[in-house]
Amino acid sequence: MKYFVYLFLLMMPFGLLGNAQANDFHEGVRILDSGDSIGALTYFKRCAGDGETRCQVAYASFLERGEGVAQDYSKALELYQKAAESGDATAQLNLGAFFENGYGVEADLKEAVIWYSLAARQGRDWALARKDMLITQLGSEDLLFIDKRLADYK
């Protein structure tokens, strides 16, 4: 499982934050790379608490999977929400999955499409595929609602 988290972290976008925050995140990745997943978990939890977006996503992924910590969809959802609202594409994609599947929240396909759409705008092909598939299950009123919400994120 630690290899999945490590690969997940490597795929996250870089360069969106200042050096201090980037160094925080990279230190957590270095700890994880050394084989110390519990140390990385502790580190990501601390820097997530400091508001570092990529650390929020990393810590949320531990919580989502229950790796080294009790599985907690509600806390993971909260962290993904913060990071997604800050523009993090990985968090947006994961938030879409939470709303689609009802992890820690009531399933809501409209919300899922909104978050998948935002991630797709940033080049996440999987999010685009999920969005396109879910749209076929929604009505015209739902699509108008989604368009209005997405206009707020432009």
Return d(Cα 40, Cα 119) in angstroms, integer: 26
Q: pLDDT of 75-105, one tens digit each?
A: 999 999 999 999 999 999 999 999 999 999 9
Query: How many residues would you count in the chain?
Result: 154
What pTM, to 2 d.p., does this model score?
Answer: 0.83
Please, what is the average pLDDT of the chain? 87
Residue span of the structural domain in which 57 resides: 2-151
Closest of 13, 39, 7, 6 to residue 91, by C-alpha: 13
Q: Which amino acid is at 14?
A: F
Residue 95: CATH number of its domain = 1.25.40.10
Domain count, the chain: 1
At residue 4, the pLDDT reads: 42
Q: Is the pLDDT at 30 greater than 60, yes or no?
A: yes
At residue 22, the pLDDT reads: 55
